[in-house]
Amino acid sequence: MDITSNARLETTSVNQTDWEAIFHELLPKVFRFFAYRVGNRLVAEDLTAGTFERAWRRRTSYQHDMGAFSQWLFGIARNVAREHYRQRSDHLQLDETLPSTVGRQPENRIGRQEDYERLANLLAELPGRDQELIALKYGAEMTNREIAQVSGLSESNVGTILHRVVKKMQKQWEAADE
Amino acid sequence: MNDLFLYEARPSVRPEFSQTLWTRLTERKSIWNQLGQFIQTRRGFATALLVILVLVACAQQILNSTFHHVTDVNGISVYETHDFLNLDASEELRQYLNTPQFQSLDDAPRIPAEEAIDLSPYNFQQPSWLPDGLELVSQGHHSSSRFDFAFIAWYSEQRDTTLFLMMHQPNRSSLEEVHVFPGAWEVIDVNGTEVLVVRGKFELPFDSEEEARQYLEEGGGQIEQRWNHDAGVRLKWVYEGTHYELFEPFVQLPWEPDSEAYHIPEEDLLRIAASMIP
């Protein structure tokens, strides 16, 4: 998914820039990036708010280039996440990141919750860079090319690392099942 | 566990969080004033505030020089001199040199409010008109044994400049004195209030950081300042007992080109002042 392809992000002038639409387009991506990165809904919300507050004042610099704005925003998000980890030695669990809409049946919900807790534990075990790439890929829904632009890695390198990390997580998952 | 599961596991955004954050972003005051943090601009408000204090401190030392009192503007004393100023700027310069310069917002540190800035609100006239592009970035209060003033700061990305409005009560400090090169000032009537317009300012006479550091290494001491006619415009006036001062602070190092640092024309500054004087 192209994070800048949405028609609502297209702008032609200062007055026509729909910042509210842009906010609502990017907010879930940034929030989910943090949810995967730090593993706690409330912390993810705090970090998301901090990211937007830091970026919002200078948004007009990017009014003609929303791609650059998104890239810049996620650059800030990555820094915010790193600052968070520098400030906190404890790593919070993912038990509050469960989607509210998943598991419509009680028995499904229980099963799902167990799965999410296992996922949380797997993510928490990942090295910071791998965790960040997972967060950008599956949390922020970035393409490998976009991740490469944000992270400074090559596109092929991003793909290789992600493939390896997901395979590793799958193996660990299956090993726990046995 | 597979790709699909990793996508499905993403949490949804709570609507109330989204709404609250949007409200905060669109109410600039709540962001910049209530966070309790002093966000730095490209060149750093710490520098700007420090420069204000340096200039005021220098002005105090200037009092012993050969200035001629030429007029009072509602309690603002105006002194002229043809001579350069003599003062010891070593301590101020040392602080100045040791203040980090920031190249971007992302790299800028944040200064805890309690260090110098009291973010409690102040009761004073605020402008009802500002040039396009200026955004409120901070307001606060500086209080020390020598100076006590409130301030509001706006920043313009397009103009790459910061505008400061300082306010204080009469306290017989150097804030109420202006030292100018002859003819570099004028008193203009704005809505029935006399506004002092100062064009330019005295600057430290260093053309490079090396010169400045050499001055410090040699122990500081007397130094001659020089008037820069292009160093922006400063407005000062008194309204209902409160002193106001409106200017673009000298946020660049003294040896950097001055002319590029000032981007708000005098007519705009006067219009801002007029919007504060009913």
Per residue in B129-176, pLDDT tens? 888 877 766 666 666 665 667 777 777 767 767 788 888 877 656 667
Q: What integer best gives the mean pLDDT of chain A?
A: 74
pLDDT of residue A29: 94
The verdict on a CB contact (< 8 Å) between B31 and A53 is yes
Q: Give A-chain residues touching B134 at CB under 8 angstroms.
A: none
pLDDT of residue B127: 83
Give the phi and the psi of residue A88 in degrees, each rounded to 5.
-125, 125
Q: What is the ipTM of this complex?
A: 0.77
For B74-92, how does the pLDDT look when each residue is reduced to its tens digit (9 = 90+)? 888 898 876 655 456 666 6
The verdict on a CB contact (< 8 Å) between B3 and A60 is no
Buried residues in B72-90 as b, exposed as e (16+ CB within 10 A): ebbebebbbbeebbebebb
- Statement: residue B117 has pLDDT above 50: no
pTM over 0.80: no
Q: What is the mean pLDDT of residues A30-42?
A: 89
The verdict on a CB contact (< 8 Å) between A116 and B9 is yes
pLDDT of residue A112: 63
Angstrom distances, CA of residue B131 to CA of A57, B136, B250, B269: 17, 12, 19, 9
Smallest Cα distance from B176 to chain A, Å:
34
Give the count of beta carbons closer than 10 Å to the beta carbon of residue A162: 19
- Statement: residue A19 has pLDDT above 90: no
Question: Higher confidence at residue A134 or residue B29?
Answer: A134
- Statement: residue B96 has pLDDT above 80: no
Q: Give A-chain residues touching B22 at CB under 8 angstroms.
A: 20, 23-24
pLDDT of residue B163: 82
Which one of A24, A45, A115 has the shortest CB-CB distance to B17? A45
Report the C-alpha gap between A174 and B264 in whole angstroms: 65
- Among A41-55, B63-77, B262-276, where is mean pLDDT lowest? B63-77
Q: What integer best gives the mean pLDDT of chain B?
A: 69
The verdict on a CB contact (< 8 Å) between A166 and B14 is no
Q: At A61, is the pLDDT very low, low, confident or very high (cuts 50, 70, 90)?
A: low
| Percent of residues, chain A, with pLDDT higher than 90 | 19
pLDDT of residue B194: 95
